[in-house]
Amino acid sequence: MMRSTIPAEELLAKSRAIGQYYGFVPLSTLSAKARGTARNKSSDAATLSGLTLDPMAETVSSFLNQCRKAVIVPTPRQQLFLWHTNIAHGRPAPKRAVVQFHALGADRALADAVVIRALLALARDLFHTEPVLRINSMGDKETRARYARELANYFKKRAGTLPEECTSCARQDTFAAAELAIARECADDLPAPTEHLSDASRKRFEDLLEYLEMTDTPYELARNLISRGGVWSDTCFEIVAHDERVAWGSRYSDLAKRYFPAAAFPAVGAVLRIASEGGVVKKPSQPRLRFSFIHIGDEAKRHSIRLAEEFRKAHVPLAQSIGLESLTEQMLLAEERQSPYLLIMGRREALENSAILRNCQTQQETTLPLEGLVDRLKAVA
């Protein structure tokens, strides 16, 4: 049986730990760094003029608005992998907790995969079960327009056999009607969005599935999983625990463009909601980091995604930035962390199933096989 309520302190501590191992920086950390600088005071109402948002989109919009106010924007050189929650230490626990993971400025399917893995890890920890990942693609604007026309034709042709509420809903919003028909279990032959993907959207979806398969991430193709509204695009997914949806995610580049029109960038994110409890939230303890994991190339990134869970479960005091491509940016972050050891994996090491351990004080390097790596690092720590 799934826990319906989780202590806020537990949720904060686990979210923070998962963010660290997968390379997500707390939004609160960047906002604190931005204090004292010029802040953006644009109106949220004007930004969202003409848009109708579902509850998940409203949550993501609030996150983007906070990024805009603090002038937190990704650049071509530095993508931003952020996590955020409405739980704050020193304040009473909220009745409804929200945890979000986002990748801003990251166009590759790797970003979707890292967001998904982080949410899966959190769901696994919170609900003490192996969560199910259900995934689909609604495609880009071109695909969504084509699919909307296909749905409109579908509801017209079956107006005499479908429930009246479905056909009347279809006159206003075909995506909402499709969701209603799926919920009523009366549309087994509903057209699948993946049958209408543009070449670009098909390639993006195939790349993501390849990442999931190569990182041993189980998933289910969910042809009846639909994202509606004008803010979502391409990949959409949900995480299910004990037969209940606990998290939802999708790409939302068009929504991000509303908040940052001068710096339009790709964006993907996911939101987990759960009832929470507790009094004033205490700050989670943070052990001093001993290792920063630096990796270059696709093979190394795939290894890093798989290893993140092993490091976390073994409580190895390590941080990494899986989504960052640049060696320079990763090294700069490692310097900020002041970890005494670097774990380095380039293309060669990835192919040889090894990694280089560097002592930052002596510059001594040791090549370690991936097999038994966690135990070797625990001995060093």
Is the pLDDT assigned to residue 290 strictly greater than 90? yes
pLDDT class for 38, splitting at 50, 70, 90? low
Q: How far apart are CA 273 and CA 44, in angstroms?
A: 23
Predicted confidence (pLDDT) per residue in 338-351, tens digit: 999 999 999 999 99
Average pLDDT over residues 264-281: 94
Contact 176, 228 (CB under 8 A): yes
Q: How far apart are CA 122 and CA 274, in angstroms?
A: 12
Classify 105 in phi/psi space as left (phi over 0), alpha (psi -120 to 50) or beta: left
Domains, in order of start, for the chain: 5-135+232-277 (3.30.930.10), 141-194 (no CATH), 291-380 (3.40.50.800)
So what's the pLDDT on residue 308?
A: 93
So what's the pLDDT on residue 45?
A: 63
DSSP 102: E
So what's the pLDDT on residue 212?
A: 95
- Separation in Å, CA 180 to CA 167, 169, 185, 237: 10, 8, 9, 18
In terms of pLDDT, which residue wins out, 41 or 179? 179
Is the pLDDT assigned to residue 225 strictly greater than 70? yes
Is the pLDDT assigned to residue 112 strictly greater than 70? yes
Burial classification of residue 185, based on how many CB atoms lie within 10 Å of its CB (0-12 exposed, 13-18 middle, 19 or more buried): exposed
Average pLDDT over residues 297-304: 93
So what's the pLDDT on residue 280?
A: 94
Average pLDDT over residues 210-223: 94
Q: How far apart are CA 295 and CA 302, in angstroms?
A: 10
Contact 280, 258 (CB under 8 A): no
Model confidence, pTM: 0.92
Average pLDDT over residues 232-251: 95
Q: How far apart are CA 35 and CA 270, in angstroms?
A: 26
Most confidently modeled range among 75-84, 187-196, 229-238, 343-352: 343-352
